[in-house]
Structure 1
């Protein structure tokens, strides 16, 4: 790699600043834009600048629209509402109308959300609405569901987000992964069943080396996570109570059919594990 050097006689501070601007592809890039914490330490760690870039297009691919995007974006949006209480979050082409109690549980103020709906399949109208929202002074963030957008469309949105310093999320289906994108940050979000989390985030594109493994996040509201943890603890306690009582009396019985007592006990324990 070529080495940049300051001109003879240049001050040490200038030479340091010059080298600080050099990004090596094997390293995680520093943020050239202002960033917002995502609300998830594990995700912040793998993103340039430790958060969502503000003034740039963040492209999120997901198999099913309307399932995981709020869990992923809500912490940053809630922080923006606290920082700029008069600002608006604009939703363009959302697949479902926002459900107030669920978003309230994520600390979002529904009175500061504006939803723009277009006709089914009318991609140009949705793109126009997204650009207009980015240019509005009262808007601090835009979430747009644009399954049919192309690279040229996204480039215009990237330019608008940068020009007006807005937080912009664009949601698209996984098939878009095969297409080029001007987004500096591109993620693939997939749901999973795991006690430690419910969302796998694959970092497809960032200013840095490829990420070998996805990041596991628990994007469920805190109260729901607590209820699930309590349910698992009750199931564990029931298993411990059942085992000493039933196993000694059943261990000597033959396993003759799927309807045997042992099979019934195993089915019951499996049912507890499932819940």
Structure 2
């Protein structure tokens, strides 16, 4: 049997037909990222609601908060509900997050070391109507487990970010958006769009690797400055040892604030 090639002209296609050379989901629900250059490249002009956004990093210590903090602060302000942090690599550094617009009382830190506990906690947070967004570190998640999270986010229209190692980039993912965050020697970030509904992005997007208020925060933490006392309240969550840590007051600054601000869980 002789095969034949059929060329279809879509120039006169009706409205609602997506073309592969243009950004899709113009009417999809999104949350602005807070970075105009990035929003211009994201389908719908922002992070998708009701879908997974996957963030790949060379290691868990790489900068992350400068990219996500504006959108998380906006989600909290609009909905008046907390952000769930599932298994962050370090304790959230409250003063830096608050300086970026994310109040400390709006954080729910779920401390879980085992992969099953993190997945369970992430699903429960996605099903909770009292959570504005979920940010989870799931380095060992498998494809089927990620699909479950994608379905949970879709059912409840949640804002979901999943952090994974850069080594999984060649593998398949159900995420609607997939980005690689690559630190540069000058302290900036290169954001690669690995997956989106639209044409590939030829060049990475440059973004700041540190928040604009970092200098002022470092000045405020110099020796001799008074530091607010800190206290925490832990709530057992079940399923493999996951624990919710509610940060009630600002965490006392460490002896080396510059090092603390460079951590992945810090809004540096």
TM-score bracket for this pair, using the shorter chain length: 0.7 to 0.9
Q: In the alignment, does 2:154 pair up with 1:159?
A: no
5+ unaligned residues in a row in structure 1: which ranges? 5-15, 228-275
* Residues in 2 aligned to 1:210 and 1:186: alpha-carbon distance in whole angstroms: 12
Question: Cα 1:143–1:100, aligned 2, differ >3 Å: closer, same or farther?
Answer: same
Structure 1 residue 88, shift from structure 2 partner = 1.3
Q: In the alignment, does 2:63 pair up with 1:82?
A: no
Structure 1 residue 25, shift from structure 2 partner = 0.6
* Residues in 2 aligned to 1:100 and 1:47: alpha-carbon distance in whole angstroms: 29
Structure 1 residue 219, shift from structure 2 partner = 4.4
Pick from 52, 62, 77: which aligns with 1:67? 62
Pick from 152, 155, 176: which aligns with 1:184? 176
CA RMSD of aligned residues (A): 2.3
User: Residues 37-52 of structure 1 correspond to what in structure 2 (within 5 A)?
Assistant: 37-52=32-47
Q: Which of 1 and 2 has greater Rg? A: 1
User: Residues 87-98 of structure 1 correspond to what in structure 2 (within 5 A)?
Assistant: 87-98=81-92
| TM-score between both structures, scaled by the size of structure 1 | 0.72
Q: In the alignment, does 2:104 pair up with 1:114?
A: no
Task: Give the structure with the higher percent helix.
Answer: 1
* Residues in 2 aligned to 1:154 and 1:166: alpha-carbon distance in whole angstroms: 15
* Residues in 2 aligned to 1:20 and 1:176: alpha-carbon distance in whole angstroms: 37
Tell me the matched-pair count: 212
5+ unaligned residues in a row in structure 2: which ranges? 1-6, 218-268
Is the 8 Å Cα contact of residues 105 and 221 (structure 1) preserved in structure 2? no
Is the 8 Å Cα contact of residues 28 and 209 (structure 1) preserved in structure 2? yes
Partner residue in 1 for 2:124: 132
* Residues in 1 aligned to 2:61 and 2:125: alpha-carbon distance in whole angstroms: 21
| TM-score between both structures, scaled by the size of structure 2 | 0.74
* Residues in 1 aligned to 2:74 and 2:97: alpha-carbon distance in whole angstroms: 13
Runs of 4+ in 1 over 3 A off after TM superposition: 1-4, 224-227
Pick from 186, 193, 218: which aligns with 1:203? 193
